[in-house]
Structure 1
C-alpha cells in the first residue's frame, strides 16, 4: 500500500509529525509520498489513501481547498473524509456542539454583512475569524480596548470573514491549554500548550517555540468532555466509525474544562510527546485502509 502525506507547497518540511509517522507506517508495510494539495500535477488516484497532515494554507483559500477534498475523495480514500473537513474548517461548528449542552467556550458569531455596534461585555475577550489556523487573525482585548476590538472585527468582516468572539479564560495563562489526541477513536496522549496570546493583544510565541508544548496527563474530567465531544461530532456528521485522528483542545475554567476547538482536519498530533504514539497513528491508518 502507498499513501499520500498531504502538505502544502509552502509547508514542505514543516510538520514535525511527518518523519516519525512515515517511519511507523514503513514498519507495517505502508509506503508514503510527501505531496502538496495545491500541486496540480499530482495524480491522486495512484494512492490508496491521502492523509491530511499540513495543508496549513487552507484558511487563505478555503473554497478551493474544500473543492480539492471533494475531488480527491472521488479518486481515493481521504483521511479524514471530505464532509468532515468541510464542517470542521469553519469554527461555526462550535455552535452546533454547544447546542447539544456540551461545555463549549461561549462563542458569538458575526456574519460579514452584519453591522457591528458592540461586542459582548467581558473583562477580556478574543476576536478572530471563524476560518483560521495557528491563531492567525486572533487578537486578545480588554474591556477598555472595545473600540480597537471593533476595528479588528470590522477588518475581518471586510476580508469576507465570519467573526468569532469568545471570552478570554484567564486560567489558561498559568495552567495552559490541554490537547487530547485520539487515533481511531481511542485516546493516545495529551499535551499542555502554553497560552499564545499576550495580554497586550500580541502573540506571545509560536506553537513550535521551545517549551510551548509539553507532555501531560489528562484527568478524568478532560477525558470525559473530550470523548463526549467526539461522540456528538460523530452523530452530527453521521460517521459510521471513529475518525482516523482527532485532537480535542480544552481550556481550564472555574467550572471545569471547556472545549476551545475540535481539530479534525490537519492538527499537529505531537507524536514526540507520547510514547508509542507514532505506531498508534500508523495502526489507525492501516485499520481505515483495511476497512475498505
Structure 2
C-alpha cells in the first residue's frame, strides 16, 4: 500500500500536542507514509487527517476554505463546517439527543439561567472564551457576551462535573475504541498550555457505563443522520458527556474536527485501531 497521509496540525504545535505521538509510527507499520504537516499547505496527499489544528478559531474562514480545497479530508469538509459551530447542539437536541440545556445568545440577551451558568463562543477550541458565571452575576455575563463579538452558547452549569468530571468516549471508524475522563476545567486554578491554545486538562482512563455507551452511540447516529452520512464516515469522533443531577448522561460536545483522542490514557493498541480506521477510509 503506497500512500501518503498528512496529520494536520498548527504552526504552534508542528508535531502535534504529544497525545498523538504514536500515530505516525502506527500508520507506517501498516504501510502508510504518514507525517505531520501544518494546515494550509497545498501539498498533495492521499488523505489529510485533521488533528491539532487548534488555531483555526482565529482564522475560521481561511480554515474552512482550506478544508474545502483538500481532495480527501478526515473528517470531511462538510462535517467540519457543521461541527466547528457549536450551535449543532441545538440541532441535536431537536432530534431527541439528551443535550446540556443550550440557548443561543447575542449581545442584549437577558434570559439568563437562575443558577451558575456558562457562556462560551459558538466557535472555540481548548475552552478558550468559556466563562463560568456565578448565579445572578448577569452584568459579568453580559459583558463577556459582548466581548466575544458574536453568538455564544448559554448553558446551566452542571455541578456534577466538579465531583465526577466529564467522560469522553472515542470512536474510530464509527466503532467504539476507548474512553477517558476530564476533570472540571472552568475552575479558578485553570491554566493554559505554553502554546496558549488550550486549557491544560487533567485526564485519566475510564470504563464508561451502559447508559453512557448508549447515549454516545445515539449521538453518533443522530449526527450522521443530520449530515446525511453513515457513522462509519467519521474517521474519528469524541463524545463528551456530563452527568445530570439524576445521574443520566447529557451531551456536552460532539467533537468531529480536531479532538484530542486520549491515546495516552488508554491501551497501547489504540493507535493501531486508528491506523486500521485510516486504511479503511483510504479504501472507501
Band the TM-score falls in, shorter-chain normalisation: over 0.9
Give the equivalent residue in structure 1 for 2:185: 196
Cα deviation for residue 82 of structure 1 reads: 0.2
Distance in 1 of aligned mates of 2:102 and 2:59: 24
RMSD of the TM alignment (CA)? Answer: 1.6
**How big is the shift at 1:172?**
0.3
1:22 matched to 2:17: no
Match of 1:110 in 2: 105
Q: Tell me how far 1:99 sits from its aligned partner.
A: 0.3
The match for 1:273 among 261, 265, 269 is 265
Please name the residue that 1:93 is paired with. 88
Summarize deviations over 1:148-195 as a string: whole Å, max 9, x none.
111111111xx2x21110010000001010000000111110001000
Note if contact 1:15-1:53 (Cα within 8 Å) is conserved in structure 2.
Answer: no
* Corresponding residue to 2:72 among 77, 81, 92: 77
Among 196, 216, 228, the residue aligned to 1:238: 228
Return 5+ residue gaps in structure 1 as ranges.
none
Residue of structure 1 equivalent to 2:278: 285
Change (3 A) 1:240 1:258: closer
Shift of residue 208, structure 1, vs aligned partner: 7.2
TM-superposition CA deviations, 1:101-128 (whole Å, max 9, x none): 11100001024xx532x24232100011
Would the aligned equivalents of 1:196 and 1:205 in 2 still touch at CA under 8 Å? no
Instruction: Compute the displacement of 1:77 (Å).
Output: 1.0
Normalised by the length of structure 1, the TM-score is 0.90
* 2-structure distance, mates of 1:92, 1:178: 21
C-alpha displacement of 1:241 = 5.0
Give the secondary structure class of the aligned counterpart of 2:22: helix
Paired position in structure 1 for 2:137: 145
1:43 matched residue in structure 2: 42
Tell me if the contact between 2:221 and 2:231 (Cα under 8 Å) persists in the aligned partners.
no
CA distance in 2, matches of 1:62, 1:208: 20
CA distance in 1, matches of 2:231, 2:184: 33
Alpha-carbon shift at residue 14 of structure 1 (Å)? 4.0
- Structure-2 change in CA distance of 1:277 and 1:97 (3 Å): same
State the TM-score, normalized to the length of structure 2: 0.92
> Post-superposition, which runs of at least 4 consecutive aligned residues in structure 1 deviate over 6 A?
none
Q: CA deviation at 1:240?
A: 3.9
- How many residues are treated as equivalent by the alignment? 274
Which structure 2 segments of 5+ residues have no match?
193-197
Cα distance 1:147–1:277, how it changes in 2: closer, same or farther (>3 A)?
same
Matches of 1:120 and 1:203, distance apart in 2: 25
